[in-house]
Structure 1
């Protein structure tokens, strides 16, 4: 009989671990016998994990696989608020290393069958007695399934030292539970042909252990006295995180620069374009240019359902300055107090000399990402005051943006979004995040 699996059996094992991680949301995870780090590469995308560790005795294989664990460009462009540290160690799972104690989850996927029988009890002592994780997942081949593989003689892999039946695996697991204070559930992946599950079982049998009590305090004390660190650290990387105050400030500043530039571009497009007098330029949260025709009654609420208008409406003259009056329906009275501006000040932007003034209240009300990054109007203002890349007005209530002539070359009917601004934004964010 020819047995095949879809998806492949190794992917089913990894998916079992991924779904378990999604349920219990561990912060610290170690994969024993991680080989080429394939499982770690899947787990690194789960933001609940703060420390992800791999251990394998083969250092060459670890070095080949570690490059796939490095942060990707989008991790710098869009860093998350969660922290992640990844470490790879070369070492034997039969050795105690104090750096691996107290983890939430230990995984051992198709590893135990590669150990010498004499080392299996040592493996149980190290994992359950010394490391004492909250949960453990152990998978191993089920030898009762082997007759379903045509032409298979002996073990499934040349390096296997043994392959357990379901009863042998259960016996070992229950003994571990009794010695070290765990409970266990049995399952597996790799279904046999229909109607044969009871006879042959799963192709890979899995035991999921959960700690129900800690080890004896005196035994823990004896272990602490002789803490050792036999493993060799081969790889250690920290992912960019907004928990880093310096990175948070850089990302926020980059976002403010991007959004103020967009607002300034919107205004220059309105000022330079040859538009009908009855048309008003505004921009919503979706940042799509919209033409809004005012009604004959002078209704100002013309920016579309749910939109936060950030455009400019009335072009007058104010003390030699070009005045641009706008409205923002998301603005709250407490925001006005936070930014130290009266109601009139929040409604106006000016261009004087070669600068455009963009109120912080406008940035706060119309840019959700700025709100998420800064947390509060006062924190936004404080962060920008400390930045050398942002120029604020004397009262600190608005950002001053250069109004360069080359950026004003916008043809009314010929202007279109070429996508250059998105490319510039990604480049600016990446460069600032890496500084």
Structure 2
């Protein structure tokens, strides 16, 4: 008998279908009943719409062994999510009611069979994954899928007064997010300092490459306008575009306009608003601002002698 193989494997096709459905319905709280090795959960944590991810399984030892799969990675701290994400793993059974499951927007039950339908206010759709080879179309999908869409106008009222928390919490983690002001502040500061260093290197390299004539040709991608006291100006690095701001060197410090930094896409995305960027820079000791607060003062650190 010929062995039939599926590409991609069936379990990946099932997981991909769940992932697509979660994104389609913009589910905020998602539960996986019978999460087993947490493979599906580790995939669902990349859905941007998900803010709460819950896994339930009867195998306590398996949960403890595989819970690392839903733990944050180093990249999650370097590039935090824009929204909150809490992942919880519970030891329990899908047949037992737990009040913490009542407000789920999406529930996945792979490899489980549930007897629910129109009686409880759900619209049922049928599909599947894993089409067989040519000539077996009449057999249908290898994995049949039932999608239950709750009809709010027809669903019976859920009583929560006597609901209990019967599942045992095994593991819970909150992912780093830009919603956390401390995390947002650290990430924005890192990006601002990196941007300032790029400006410094660009100025130095251009000046020396052009043998002192590159300052007037220096170009950067920021826009805006500002006034600087000419009597205090030691050296000005003037962009080609007259609409862009000037970066000045005064007493060994580069005066970089904050509006220049904010116009950089990454800084703008992370800070959210120019006002928020100002707030972050004003309350930290990692950078220094000018007295007027409009410029970031960054060391020029140029060891070469100037003419």
Question: TM range, normalised to the smaller chain?
Answer: 0.7 to 0.9
Q: Which of these residues, 232, 243, 247, is aligned with residue 179 of structure 2?
A: 243
More helix by share: 1
Could you tell which deviates more after superposition, 34-43 or 208-217? 208-217
Q: How does 1:374-413 map to 2 (within 5 A)?
A: 374-404=271-301, 408=303
2:5 & 2:242 partners in 1: Cα distance?
Answer: 58
- Point out where structure 2 has 5 or more consecutive residues left out of the alignment: 225-229
- State the SS of the aligned residue for 1:356: strand
- With over 3 angstroms needed to count, the CA separation of the structure-2 counterparts of 1:244 and 1:110, relative to structure 1, is same
Distance 1:409 1:231 in 2: 67
User: In structure 2, what is the equivalent of residue 363 of structure 1?
Assistant: 261
Deviation at 1:267, TM superposition (A): 2.3
- For 2:304 and 2:212, locate their aligned partners in 1 and report how far apart those are by CA, in whole Å: 19
Paired residues of 1:282 and 1:309 also in contact (CA < 8 A) = no
The size of the alignment, in residue pairs, is 299
Summarize deviations over 1:223-269 as a string: whole Å, max 9, x none: x2222111111111111111111111111111111111221222233
Moved over 6 A (4+): none
> In the alignment, which residue of structure 1 is the partner of 2:227?
none
CA contact (8 A) 1:37 1:54 kept: yes
The structure 2 residue matched to 1:282, chosen from 218, 243, 252, is 218
- Find the counterpart in structure 1 of residue 129 from structure 2: 189
SS at match of 2:88: strand
Larger Rg: 1
1:372 positional shift = 1.9
The equivalent position to 1:324 in structure 2, one of 236, 249, 254, is 236
Given that 1:56 and 1:62 are in contact with CA atoms closer than 8 Å, whether structure 2 keeps it comes out as yes
Deviations along 1:342-374, one digit per CA (max 9) or x if unpaired, are: xxxx5351231x322212122233x11122223
Q: CA deviation at 1:178?
A: 3.2
Q: d(CA) in 2 for partners of 1:240 and 1:66?
A: 18
> 1:71-150, aligned counterparts within 5 Å?
71-112=72-113, 124=114
**Unaligned segments of structure 1, at least 5 residues:** 113-123, 125-171, 286-307, 311-317, 333-345, 411-435
Decide which of 234, 250, 256 is 2:170's aligned counterpart. Answer: 234
Counterpart among 136, 142, 148 of residue 203 in structure 1:
142
Q: Tell me the distance in 1 between the aligned counterparts of 2:97 and 2:161.
A: 13
CA contact (8 A) 2:257 2:296 kept: yes
Distance 1:404 1:47 in 2: 41
2:37 is aligned to 36
Q: Secondary structure, in 3 states, of the residue corresponding to 2:109? A: strand
SS of corresponding position for 1:395: coil
Is the 2:129–2:144 contact (alpha carbons within 8 Å) kept by the matching residues of 1? Answer: yes
Distance 1:102 1:309, change over 3 A: closer
Which of 227, 246, 253 aligns to 2:189? It is: 253
Partner of 1:11: 12
The equivalent of 1:167 in structure 2 is none
Secondary structure, in 3 states, of the residue corresponding to 1:225? Answer: coil
- 2:207–2:215 CA contact under 8 A, matched in 1: no
Q: Are the equivalent residues in 2 in contact too, given 1:309–1:327 (CA < 8 A)?
A: no
1:249/1:383 contact within 8 Å kept:
yes
- Indicate which of 234, 249, 263 corresponds to 1:350: 249
Tell me, yes or no, if structure 1 residue 212 matches structure 2 residue 160: no
